[in-house]
C-alpha cells in the first residue's frame, strides 16, 4: 500500500476533529511526525487552499467548511468503482474534459475529477454551467466501457438519482427529479447531470458530469428557470466533502446496477422522486416536438409519452428537453 503523505495524514486528523483545536504535540504524536515535518505539512495544506487557525495555546484547527480535498473524499469511501481515485483542481476549463482526457492514465476507471471553478463549464445543449469559484460541487466521473455495458440513458437517470440520494444522506433534504437530468429542491434547480460518451484512449468511455449548487446558486439573469442551493435551504454554509462522498457512494451503487442490467430498483427509486407521471408535457426531441401525457420514465428507453395523436412514444434523454 502506498504510504500516505504527511500533509494528507495531518489533513485527515484535523478534519476528523471538526471545529476543535489540535494541540501540536498531540497532532505530532497521532501522525508520528516530528514538529518540524508537521510544520511543513501544515504549510502544504495552506498552499492547497485550506484555511488554518493557529494558536500558541490551543494548537491548530481547520476552519470549516473545508474545501474538497482528494484525501478527505477518498478516505474510507469503500466504493467498488466510482471515486477510487479522486483529483481536485483549483480551476479547469471543464471537469468533463479533464476526466475524458485521463482515460489512458493507470487506474482511470472510476476517477472522480473535482474543481473549484470552471472556465468553460457546460450544461446540456452547449449551455453554460455557471458556478461562483469555491462554492459548489463541480465533479465528473470517468467510466471506461470497452464492453459497452453502460448506456447513456440509464446513466443519466442514475446520475440524477445518485445526486438526490446523496444529498438526502448528507443533509436530510428531500430532492425531486425532473426528467431527464434535473435535480430540484423546493421547485428550484439544484443540480444538473451531463453524461457524455467519448471514443478514444482505451476505447469507449463515459463521463458523468455533475454540478450541484451547494453554497451558491448562479445569478438569476443567467438562467432559464429558478435555481437554488443547499445553503439557502439549510440556512448555513454546507461542507462539500460529505456531499461529494455521499454522491460518489450512491453513484457507485447505481452504476453497478446499470452495468449488471438490473435497472428495476433504479426505475422504482427514481419514480418515487418524480412528480411528472400523468402530467401533460410538450417535449422537444431532436428536431420534433411532441405533446402528451407522461406514462413512465424508463431507465432503458426514456420518457414514455401518450401523445395527443394517439401514439405511444419512448423519447430518449439525449437530445430531449421539456418545453412546457
Ligand atoms: C445541465 O443541467 O445542463 C447539466 C449541467 C452539468 C454541469 C456539470 S459541472 C461539472 C461537469 N463539468 C461540466 O463542464 N459540466 C458538468
Amino acid 1: pLDDT: 36
Task: Scan for cell 494528507, then name that residue.
Answer: 8
Amino acid 252: pLDDT: 98
C-alpha cell at 246: 455521499
C-alpha cell at 304: 414514455
What's the gap in Å between 121 CA and the centre of ligand 1? 6
Amino acid 219: pLDDT: 74
Amino acid 221: pLDDT: 57
Query: Which SS3 state, helix, strand or coil, does residue 62 take?
Result: strand
Question: Are 37 and 57 contacting, i.e. CB atoms less than 8 angstroms apart?
Answer: no
Instruction: Provide block-wise average pLDDT over 10 residues at a time, the chain (324 residues).
Output: 78 96 97 96 96 97 97 97 98 98 95 98 94 97 95 97 98 97 96 93 92 91 80 97 98 98 97 96 95 96 95 95 92
What's the gap in Å between 23 CA and the centre of ligand 1? 41
Question: Are 78 and 103 contacting, i.e. CB atoms less than 8 angstroms apart?
Answer: no
**Model confidence, pTM:** 0.96
Query: Ligand 1 pocket: which residues have CB below 6 Å?
Result: 94-96, 118, 121-124, 127, 129, 138-140, 181, 192-194, 209-211
Amino acid 2: pLDDT: 44
For residues 199 and 5, give the distance between their C-alpha atoms in angstroms, rounded to a whole number.
Answer: 35
For residues 310 and 127, give the distance between their C-alpha atoms in angstroms, rounded to a whole number.
Answer: 33
Residue 18's contacts (CB-CB under 8 Å, 6 or more residues apart) are 64
Q: Which atom of ligand 1 is nearest to the CA of 121?
A: 14
Within a 13 Å sphere around the CA of 258, how many CA atoms are in the beta-carbon half?
27
For residues 50 and 59, give the distance between their C-alpha atoms in angstroms, rounded to a whole number.
Answer: 16
Amino acid 3: pLDDT: 54
Describe the strand order of the beta sheet including 176-178 as a list of residue ranges.
86-92, 112-118, 137-144, 205-212, 188-198, 182-185, 176-178
Strand partners, 112: 86, 141
Question: Are 61 and 87 contacting, i.e. CB atoms less than 8 angstroms apart?
Answer: no
Determine which residue's CA is closest to atom 16 belonging to ligand 1.
209
Residue 255's H or E segment, with its range, is: helix 240-259
Amino acid at each position: 500500500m502506498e504510504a500516505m503523505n504527511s500533509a494528507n495524514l495531518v489533513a485527515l486528523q484535523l478534519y476528523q476533529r471538526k471545529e476543535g483545536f489540535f494541540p501540536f504535540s498531540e497532532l505530532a504524536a497521532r501522525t508520528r511526525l516530528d514538529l518540524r515535518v508537521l510544520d511543513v505539512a501544515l504549510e502544504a495544506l495552506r498552499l492547497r487552499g485550506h484555511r488554518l487557525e493557529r494558536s500558541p495555546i490551543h494548537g491548530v484547527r481547520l476552519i470549516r467548511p473545508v474545501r474538497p480535498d482528494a484525501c478527505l473524499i477518498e478516505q474510507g469511501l469503500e466504493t467498488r468503482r466510482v471515486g477510487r481515485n479522486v483529483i481536485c483542481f483549483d480551476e479547469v476549463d471543464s471537469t468533463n474534459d479533464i476526466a475524458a482526457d485521463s482515460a489512458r492514465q493507470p487506474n482511470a476507471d472510476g476517477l472522480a475529477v473535482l474543481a473549484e471553478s470552471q472556465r468553460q463549464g457546460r450544461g446540456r445543449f452547449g449551455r453554460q454551467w455557471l458556478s461562483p469559484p469555491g462554492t459548489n460541487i463541480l465533479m465528473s466521473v470517468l467510466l471506461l466501457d470497452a464492453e459497452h455495458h453502460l448506456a447513456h440513458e440509464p446513466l443519466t437517470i442514475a446520475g440524477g438519482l445518485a445526486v438526490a440520494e446523496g444529498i438526502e444522506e448528507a443533509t436530510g433534504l428531500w430532492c425531486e427529479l425532473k426528467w431527464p437530468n434535473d435535480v430540484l429542491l423546493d421547485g428550484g434547480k439544484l443540480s444538473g447531470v451531463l453524461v457524455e460518451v467519448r471514443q478514444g484512449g482505451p476505447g469507449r468511455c463515459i463521463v458523468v458530469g455533475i454540478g450541484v449548487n451547494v453554497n451558491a446558486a448562479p445569478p438569476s439573469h443567467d438562467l432559464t428557470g429558478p435555481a437554488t442551493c443547499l445553503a439557502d435551504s439549510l440556512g448555513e454554509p454546507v461542507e462539500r466533502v460529505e456531499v461529494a462522498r455521499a454522491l460518489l457512494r450512491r453513484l457507485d451503487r447505481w452504476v453497478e446496477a446499470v452495468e449488471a442490467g438490473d435497472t428495476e430498483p433504479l426505475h422504482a427509486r427514481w419514480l418515487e422522486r418524480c412528480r411528472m407521471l400523468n402530467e401533460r408535457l410538450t417535449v422537444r426531441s431532436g428536431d420534433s416536438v411532441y405533446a402528451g401525457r407522461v406514462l413512465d420514465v424508463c431507465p432503458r428507453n426514456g420518457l414514455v409519452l401518450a401523445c395527443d395523436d394517439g401514439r405511444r412514444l419512448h423519447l430518449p434523454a439525449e437530445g430531449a428537453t421539456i418545453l412546457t
